[in-house]
Structure 1
């Protein structure tokens, strides 16, 4: 994948995805988390209104937390880049956070851990790259997968 393509990589919903997304986005509102999922809320970069989407929050062994965008440079990624902060919601619980986007060189262990945890769910967006990929393979795809450290 060339650098220009990676910088704009986005896999939009298709087929049944929009219907499944609506259903699964409703679960955290009801306080139901599947495999650690949360409802991400970020202010729109143009409207200033809250925008929400379902995300998987990766927590590493050392307690660091990350958001990975398996579909690429999505609207929530663009909004988070501008705002630098958001909320993770589950039921009535709201957790504010600040986010720092990782440079590509620092994404490799995070992408591997993310694929290890959620490869069964998001593997199709990684186009054949798995948790068993080499560091070089993960480095090649890193520009197309934004990653944010949460604080």
Structure 2
């Protein structure tokens, strides 16, 4: 499997329980450790598609990391270049730029430090203490977008 095709599909229990719970809480204004509901236009349908995500703030910039790899929301965001992040009634529109692999290491490390307990299973043994070389070697598997709120 190429790194470009890297994708770990969520299990039924996760989608039916965890995602729904996080989505419900975030829609009602409760953000768990930076959780947001991401909405992006579908690249084929043109309809808004929504997923719970973790918004990382690092050195004054904000990032979206795709721990499951090259998911549908990633593919849609690449095409759309913009979307919305929601918490309760608050809606933040944004534009996004995908980072090159060489720039992902500090973002991946910070993401794993903050949410490794939640997403570590998708990182194939990597964690916040992994050497830079190992994070760089895996960077192509994990899309990262710098988000600019508009």
**TM category, shorter:** over 0.9
Aligned position for 1:7:
4
After TM superposition, the structure 1 = structure 2 runs for residues 30-69 of structure 1, keeping only pairs within 5 Å, are 30-60=28-58, 62-69=59-66
Q: Aligned Cα RMSD in Å? A: 0.9
Q: In structure 2, how many angstroms separate the alpha carbons of the residues matched to 1:5 and 1:22?
A: 31
Aligned position for 1:24:
22
What SS does structure 1 have at the residue aligned with 2:37? Answer: strand
Aligned position for 2:79:
82
Query: Cα deviation per residue 1:113-133 (whole Å; 9 max; x = unaligned)?
Result: 100111111101111100000
Q: In structure 1, how many angstroms separate the alpha carbons of the residues matched to 2:15 and 2:134?
A: 30
Shift of 1:24: 1.6
Q: In structure 2, how many angstroms separate the alpha carbons of the residues matched to 1:18 and 1:112?
A: 26
What SS does structure 1 have at the residue aligned with 2:50? Answer: strand
Q: In structure 2, how many angstroms separate the alpha carbons of the residues matched to 1:68 and 1:57?
A: 8
Q: Tell me which of 98, 121, 124 is aligned to 1:124.
A: 121
TM-score where L is the length of structure 2: 0.95
Q: When the two structures are aligned, how many residues end up with a matched partner?
A: 147
Unmatched segments (≥5 aa) in structure 2: none
Q: In structure 2, how many angstroms separate the alpha carbons of the residues matched to 1:113 and 1:77?
A: 20
Q: In structure 2, how many angstroms separate the alpha carbons of the residues matched to 1:113 and 1:53?
A: 21
